[in-house]
Amino acid sequence: MTGAGGAPTLAEICVVACAEAWRGDGAIVASPMGVIPTLGARLAQLTFEPDLLLTDGEATLLRPAASGGAGERVAEGWLPFREVFTMLAAGKRHVMMGAAQIDQFGNQNISCIGDWARPKAQLLGVRGAPGNTVNHPVSYWVARHSRRVFVDQVDMASGVGYDRAKWLSGRTAGFHELRRVVTNLAVLDFGGPDHSMRLRSVHPGVSVSAVAEATGFLLASPYQVPRTRLPTAAELTLIRTHLDPEARRDEELA
Amino acid sequence: MTIAEVIGELRSGMTIGIGGWGSRRKPMALVRALAASDVTDLEIVSYGGPDVGLLIAAGKVRRVVTGFVSLDSIPLEPHFRHARQRASIELTELDEGMLHWGLLAAAHRLPFLPMRAGLGSDVMRVNPELRTIRSPYADGEEFVAVPARRLDAALIHMNRADARGNGQYLGPDPYFDNLFCLAAARAYMSCERLVPTAELLTSGPPQSLLINRAMVAGVAETPNGAHFTSCVPDYGRDEEFQALYARSAASPEDWSKFAAEFLSGSEADYQAAVAGFAASHADAAEAVEEVRP
């Protein structure tokens, strides 16, 4: 176990950057995929975004217990898959998914690599990405920021990016929102020209050119790129002592 | 019904829906028997897990209709993966919610239901038969017309059932098992334990009775019949066995060995082999314990 008091690790900086994606969301379902996004959502719920709804990964909604340690939780509701679909169609959800590939406008691929008819590598399938991206806010977590992931064009658009969302009609157009992309190098959003991907902050010790080098398309960037905010002492204690005493967060970046 | 009687109702070329989700509460005893049968050329509709994998490995599958195929704790299903990479099966790849909507349309005897999921994504590119529809109301918005996913047969697994076909789930999630039944011409339910009707409510509240006897054509008692997928609260996923399954799928030689050991006999033979595997695994775990200081 990492003792509280040491300097923040990269994993801890990423946990906080993921948590920040849900800031301001209020009482909606946060659906994180992966260890670091899950820790981020739980940290947000424990600190600045207490109204977030979070499941146990199955069908039970859990929230922090009124007494006991900060990691203790109590059941507050039921959310089986059929109700997840209803909540997502109602727009009351913000998911953070992974991405095997993502392009400049946020088209995301988790389905397969290569020609869909006979893929070089079959991955998960599109899962809920097509529906998520046209119904409610979506963010992405990429543990290894590289040109293999940040590509010019994705092989199978599972999640819908801004260039394709241009053609959505009626209310659907307003429901499409890609919020953040958090990686092991940086935090990005879609504030570039025509909603293209933009560098929002770089993690400590990472240069802007290192991010550009690991990205397979031209990344919009402000003149001065801020540094990703560091975890506070209170956040570090929550992560290290209560949420992840076994340091599973480090495995995801290994 | 017996497992054999259920499988005896199925024919080559059928579209068969399978309940559960990923590696959770799958009717694996029925799937194993189907894999060992002469029935072939199947279209399988499923929130896919090892049900899809086993049937592919047995050469039973022409097409899979799904949003994913995963073992949950092991993200990628190895047989599905190999089959896709060799293009030896056809695939209808849908958003997870679209599959739900297709089953709901079929259950409601509608030709389609409108939905946002799919718009703008490559799901529309790889399924050129999908159509969109414009709202006839003032909004004029365009939606995907998700076609009904009608099934010739459905297979589901419940924790408890009575002999008349009332079924009960005791875990946290009903998944979509009632919709699979209503979308199907005939549905067959396996269960952990067959109980007298009067005993059903001793295990759970009325709302746990997801399946009623109007939905199913037959019931089979298959203890440990969802193994190695989870069937909580009766048992969790057998992670050691699932890991063996996934490892064995890596090479034809290893798979032959796995199939010979576990899939060559009856369901009783399978359960005996699994008990043997569990015992040897427990011995190994104990041996590890002993060498620890």
Residue of B nearest to A157 (CA): B122
Determine how β-strand A121-122 pairs with β-strand A101-102: unpaired
CA B151-B38-B15 angle, 5° bins: 10
Average pLDDT over residues A116-144: 98
Q: Burial letters for A212-224: b for 16+ Cβ neighbours within 10 Å, e otherwise?
A: eebbbbebbbeee
Distance between CA atoms of residues A106 and A154, nearest Å: 10
- Mutating which of B89, B93, B95 best tests the A interface, going by the most A Cβ atoms within 10 A? B95
Find out whether B52 and B23 touch, Cβ atoms under 8 Å: no
Confidence of residue A254 (pLDDT cuts 50, 70, 90): confident
pLDDT of residue B281: 85
Place of tokens 């924790």: B159
- Interchain contact, B116 vs A129, CB within 8 Å: no
- Interchain contact, A122 vs B76, CB within 8 Å: yes
Domain A10-253 CATH assignment equals 1.10.630.10:
no
CB atoms within 10 A of CB B1: 17
Find out whether A152 and A161 touch, Cβ atoms under 8 Å: no
The dihedral of CA B105, B111, B115, B121: what is its sign? positive
Alpha helix locations (H) across B43-176?
A: 50-57, 78-85, 96-107, 123-126
Going from N- to C-terminal start, the domains of chain B cover 242-291
- Mutating which of A169, A175, A252 best tests the B interface, going by the most B Cβ atoms within 10 A? A169
Output the six-digit token pair for B46: 């499923």
Q: Number of C-alpha atoms within 13 angstroms, CB side, residue B3? A: 21
Q: Is B166 helix (H, G, I), strand (E, B) or coil?
A: coil
The beta-carbon neighbor of B123 closest among A122, A130, A169 is A130
Q: What is the DSSP string of B1-40?
A: --HHHHHHT--TT-EEEE-SBTTBS--HHHHHHHHTSS--
The beta-carbon neighbor of B121 closest among A119, A130, A135 is A130
Contacts with A, B 155-214, CB within 8 Å = 172-176
pLDDT at A1 over 70: no
List CB contacts of A84: < 8 A, sequence separation 6 or more. Answer: A29, A31, A93
Alpha helix locations (H) across chain A?
A: 10-21, 35-46, 81-89, 129-133, 162-165, 170-175, 208-213, 233-237, 248-253
- Interchain contact, B121 vs A172, CB within 8 Å: no
Find out whether A204 and A13 touch, Cβ atoms under 8 Å: yes
Distance between CA atoms of residues B126 and A121, nearest Å: 17
- Interchain contact, B66 vs A125, CB within 8 Å: yes
List CB contacts of A145: < 8 A, sequence separation 6 or more. Answer: A183, A184, A185, A186, A211, A214, A215
Chain A contact set for B48 (CB, 8 A): 125
Residue of A nearest to B68 (CA): A125
CB atoms within 10 A of CB A147: 12
Q: What ipTM goes with this model?
A: 0.95
Going from N- to C-terminal start, the domains of chain A cover 10-253
Amino acid at B22: G
Find out whether A52 and A124 touch, Cβ atoms under 8 Å: no
- Mutating which of B85, B119, B143 best tests the A interface, going by the most A Cβ atoms within 10 A? B119
Length in residues, chain A: 254
Q: What is the DSSP string of B223-272?
A: TTTTTTSBBTTTB---HHHHHHHHHHTTSHHHHHHHHHHHSSS-HHHHHH
Chain B contact set for A160 (CB, 8 A): 119-121
Backbone angles phi, psi at A101, to 5 degrees: -140, 145
Neighbour order of strands in the sheet with A60-64: A54-55, A60-64, A73-78
Residue of A nearest to B175 (CA): A81
One pLDDT digit (tens) per residue for chain B, 293 residues = 999 999 999 999 999 999 999 999 999 999 999 999 999 999 999 999 999 999 999 999 999 999 999 999 999 999 999 999 999 999 999 999 999 999 999 999 999 999 999 999 999 999 999 999 999 999 999 999 999 999 999 999 999 999 999 999 999 999 999 999 999 999 999 999 999 999 999 999 999 999 999 999 999 999 999 999 999 999 999 999 999 999 999 999 999 999 999 999 999 999 999 999 999 888 766 655 555 44
pLDDT tens figures, A189-240: 999 999 999 999 999 999 999 999 999 999 999 999 999 999 999 999 999 9
